Structure 1
Amino acid sequence: MSMPVRPDTDATVVDIRGLWTVFQSADGEQVVHRDLQLHIDRGEVLSLVGGSGTGKTVLLRQILGLEKPTRGHVEVLGQEPGELSASGAANVGMLFQHGALFSAFSVLENIAFPLRELKLLPDELIRHAALVKLQMVGLGPQHANKSPADLSGGMIKRVALARALIMDPPLLLLDEPTAGLDPEASDSFCDLLRGLHRELGLTVVMVTHDLDTLFDLSTRIAVLADQKVIVTGAAREVIAYPHPFIHEYFLGGRGQRALEALHDKPAGQSPAQQAPAAGR
């Protein structure tokens, strides 16, 4: 089998070719990804969606370098994640689903942690950089010395986002960024992410089950099913693809409500407003 043509590396931030993920279990081998192909271009907000067990978060962890595929190639900015140096690893920021803040650290210490680990900058400069990122995510300096236990769910997400951005990475990975937030906090967090994407020129890869977040932020959607990426494209193209999961996920009751809410918003608010009305 011939390998797919590699995309333009100048435009491509993530390039995944021929990826297999196989786990061993008591019942034998479990194949999660089979010859999966995906490339992500600079400046995109690409959302990964799929049913339970399709390996969405596993794929994020492989892009980050926390897990290695069984075989195949994952390249981030031209390098395999496992080969990234400390400075190269700064090219990727990760927002974990529940924030993953260190409970014994203050807000500012959590944000500053990746910079401190490098041991290259003086403490005062690190503190200043952390305060800048704290304000960038919409939190004032009065929160700097609080502990994670004193924060609301929305504030935890913002602090974790500030930590993910402390190294000024061009690539940001988001695992369920609005999970656990009420609708108002979720909308506010989406507004923040949209603004940061635009202002910082970020490339974003996001896993989400929340259809409102999906339609609100995505410039492109990749659907995982049948152990591979079955379709990628704008919402309009993805929804039109004939597959049982897509029909159930996007055109069921939840999907219709999310699409209706999307079309009620003023034009120009969302990069995903290419979505059609449900049923078209």
Structure 2
Amino acid sequence: MTFIIPPDAERVVEIRKLWTVFRSPDGDQVVHRDLDLTIVRGEVLSLVGGSGTGKTVLLRQILGLEHPTKGEVTVLGHAPARLSAMGAANVGMLFQHGALFSAFSVLDNIAFPLRELKLLPDDLIRDAALVKLQMVGLSPQQATKSPSDLSGGMIKRVALARALIMDPPLLLLDEPTAGLDPESADGFCDLLRGLHRELGLTVVMITHDLDTLFDLSSRIAVLADQKVIVSGTTRDVIAYPHPFIHEYFLGGRGQRAMEALHEGAASRPVPLSER
């Protein structure tokens, strides 16, 4: 099943005929084969798939940290590897464990991408970092703390502030709620939903958390058999006949997550994936 791109939609990411092959003395491992995917402005697209299907590899290729064996990836009309330092400001990345610099303070972690450009005075960079700190729900009093003094939820928020410091239109999220307790995960989802709406972000997210998946996604793309086998709303994806989809969405965990979603529907905004 192929998601029909509206004719007036702006294509933020285009992936065409992508192959990812890992070479080794024991033989080649093909992870992606003729994979196609289009991501349009303003959506929250979630990538799901079993272990070894190359979800994080695909995210890193969009970011330009890895290169496909063949095929084409374009981000905002450019190959990721060709983006200049300023062009890289078009993409923000939230890594699974935050990837904060342990020797830096919270404020210095957030300010790091701007300082690397060496184009702005330090007081302006500091002000911008403080704005982003408050944007993710943390107070200025947290600015001087070290990452070791932060909870898991706070680390995620600081890492998100750093990803947003250059106001990118595209945000990549690798397991944004991994390691968080349910209350913290719900709070982080609420934060992401608000920022997506207020900043007009396009979001590409990997998650194994079904609650997060159902709560935030406007579209889900399923990786299996070395390609995207289906993309669409939650209902579209669940209706697609494939063993992974049946096990992932219709097993015990999936059923419980959907029940919780329906039970909470009356007390919170309608999830993007159900619109």
Q: TM-score range by the shorter chain?
A: over 0.9
Q: 1:241 aligns to what SS in structure 2?
A: coil
Which position in structure 1 is the counterpart of 2:69? 70
CA offset at residue 270 of structure 1? 1.7
Distance 1:10 1:255, change over 3 A: closer
Q: 1:178 aligns to what SS in structure 2?
A: coil
Which position in structure 2 is the counterpart of 1:264? 263
1:235 partner letter: T
Q: Which runs of 5+ in 1 are unaligned?
A: 275-280
Q: When the two structures are superposed, what TM-score results if normalisation uses the length of structure 2? A: 0.96
Alignment of 1:90-101 (within 5 A): 90-101=89-100
Q: How many residues align?
A: 270
2:53 partner letter: T
Q: When the two structures are superposed, what TM-score results if normalisation uses the length of structure 1? A: 0.94
The answer to whether the 8 Å contact 1:7/1:39 transfers is no
**How far apart, in 2, do the equivalents of 1:55 and 1:196 lie?**
27
CA offset at residue 26 of structure 1? 3.3
Distance 1:10 1:80, change over 3 A: farther
Which position in structure 1 is the counterpart of 2:145? 146
Q: Which runs of 5+ in 2 are unaligned?
A: none
Q: 1:221 aligns to what SS in structure 2?
A: strand
Any runs of at least 4 consecutive aligned residues in structure 1 with deviations exceeding 4 A, and if so which?
A: 5-10
Which position in structure 1 is the counterpart of 2:109? 110
**How far apart, in 2, do the equivalents of 1:79 and 1:102 lie?**
29
**How far apart, in 2, do the equivalents of 1:259 and 1:87 lie?**
42
**How far apart, in 2, do the equivalents of 1:265 and 1:202 lie?**
25
More off after superposition, 12-21 vs 264-273: 264-273
Distance 1:22 1:76, change over 3 A: same
Alignment of 1:221-260 (within 5 A): 221-260=220-259
Provide Cα deviations, 1:137-193, integer angstroms capped at 9, x if missing partner.
Answer: 000000000000000000000000000000000000000000000000000000000
**How far apart, in 1, do the equivalents of 2:10 and 2:25 lie?**
42
CA offset at residue 24 of structure 1? 1.0
CA offset at residue 9 of structure 1? 8.9
2:273 partner letter: A
What percentage of residue pairs aligned between the two structures are identical?
A: 81
**How far apart, in 2, do the equivalents of 1:194 and 1:10 lie?**
21
CA offset at residue 8 of structure 1? 6.0
**How far apart, in 2, do the equivalents of 1:81 and 1:170 lie?**
14
CA offset at residue 131 of structure 1? 0.1
Distance 1:242 1:202, change over 3 A: same
